Structure formats: structure tokens, C-alpha cells
Amino acid sequence: MSVALVWTPLTGGGSGIAAIPLPSVLGVELGTGPLLYALGLVLLLLALALVHRLLGSHVGRAWRAVRDDEVAARAAGLATPQYKSLAFGVGGFIAGIGGAYWSAQYGYIDPQIFSPNLSFQFVIIAVLGSMLSPFGAVVGAVIMVGGLEVLRAAAETRLIVYGVVLLLLIRFRPQGLWTRGGPPLRWARARRGAAPAPTDDAEETVA
């Protein structure tokens, strides 16, 4: 935040960056709401496909190993610093795409927009949906944004509600609402009489 405020030639300082042009695809400016939402949906699907593909590769398995037990992963010969740096790089790349889309949609951006309250919301979205699946972030975002609309009339109590929700999730549902395989798949298996799809933790325990 401090760097963004004082690096005026790049970020505009406290005044921010104004007059950001609307996004365009193949020379066509997306100046209407439906076109902008369609672009956002396409970017979301591409990001989900990228993350899903990475998690299914050896890189994703290495990330899960580092997440679950970094000491054991390092003892197994994994270059944990390199894999952690790669994870931060991929996360920053996806966040950059989202930030560029957000700023182009509103036409203005300044450092004050990204407050600690907004960061707290991102944490709740990750915990609420699931940190074990990229689709969990989508579920958490849908529920969180809907909750913000419900609490719009009581903005001063939002932070308290966020804290209560986070505590309840950590206590009763630490894995989040969406685990690997997703609820629809597990419910379909249960109706057919098959065993439910294993989660990440169960698969790694068996392995």
C-alpha cells in the first residue's frame, strides 16, 4: 500500500489511475454490460481450466505435498522454495488478470480501494468455498457476494459477521463447502449406491 501511494509515476499515487479504457477483443470494444460479463465469464473459465490442469499435473502434486507437510516434502527431494515461488507466480498472474479486468470495467483504480477489509473478504471466500479445489473459490465468492448484498443495510456490522462466519467454518467445516469431486458428484454416487468420491486428504492418506 505504501509503495502504491508514493510511486506516483506508475500508480498515480493517492489520485490513482483514471480514464482506463474499456476492454476490447479483436478490435471490438466491449462497452455494454452483457459483453463485459461475458468476458469476465470467459476469463474465469480459462483461469479455472488452467488451475485444474496444473493441479492434475506433477506440479500440483508437489504443491499439495508442500502444503500438507513441507518438511516431509523437502526430505523427499522436492525443491520446496522453487515450487512455492511458482505457486506465488501463478497466483499473481491470475490475480493480475482479475485486477486488469476489474479496473477496465470500472475505468478507475486507486490504492485505497484495496483495504484490509477487502483482503479479509478474500480469506473468507477461500475458507468458505474450499482451499482444496479451484471451484471452491467460485462457490465461496457467490455466497460471499450474496451475503454482502444482504448486509448492505448494516455495513458497520459486516466485519463482525465476517469474523463469526470464519470462526464457524474453521470449527465445523475446515475443509470448506466444496471438496474434490464436488457435492453434486458425491450425491449422484450416493444415489446410485456407490461409495463417495474421496477428497484430497483421503487420497493422500491412502497413497
pLDDT of the residue at 72: 92
Angle (deg, nearest 10), helices 158-172 and 134-150: 140
Average pLDDT over residues 123-134: 80
pLDDT of the residue at 204: 43
Q: How confident is the model at residue 110 (pLDDT cuts 50, 70, 90)?
A: confident
Flag whether pLDDT at 16 surpasses 90: no
pLDDT of the residue at 191: 44
For residue 137, give the C-alpha cell: 473459490
Query: pLDDT tens digit string along 145-201?
Result: 777 777 666 666 777 777 787 788 888 877 777 765 444 334 334 444 544 444 444
Q: How confident is the model at residue 26 (pLDDT cuts 50, 70, 90)?
A: confident
Q: Do residues 17 and 11 lie in contact, with contact meaning Cβ atoms separated by under 8 Å?
A: yes
Q: What is the pTM of this model?
A: 0.70
Query: pLDDT tens digit string along 32-62?
Result: 778 888 888 999 999 999 998 998 899 999 9
Q: Do residues 134 and 55 lie in contact, with contact meaning Cβ atoms separated by under 8 Å?
A: yes
Q: Please give the Cα distance from 199 to 132 (Å, whole number).
A: 9
| Residue 178 phi, psi dihedral angles, 5° rounding | -125, 115
pLDDT of the residue at 198: 47
Flag whether pLDDT at 118 surpasses 70: yes
Query: pLDDT tens digit string along 86-106?
Result: 999 999 999 899 888 888 888
Q: Where are the alpha helices (DSSP H) in 69-181?
A: 70-75, 80-106, 116-129, 134-150, 158-172
122 CB burial (10 A radius; 0-12, 13-18, 19+)? middle
| CB neighbour list of residue 159: distance below 8 Å, 6 or more residues apart | 117, 120
Average pLDDT over residues 2-17: 72
Query: pLDDT tens digit string along 151-162?
Result: 666 666 777 777
Dihedral of CA 12/41/30/148: which sign? negative
Q: Over the range 75-98, which residues count as b (16 or more CB within 10 Å of their CB) and which as e?
A: eeebebeebeeebeebeeebeeee
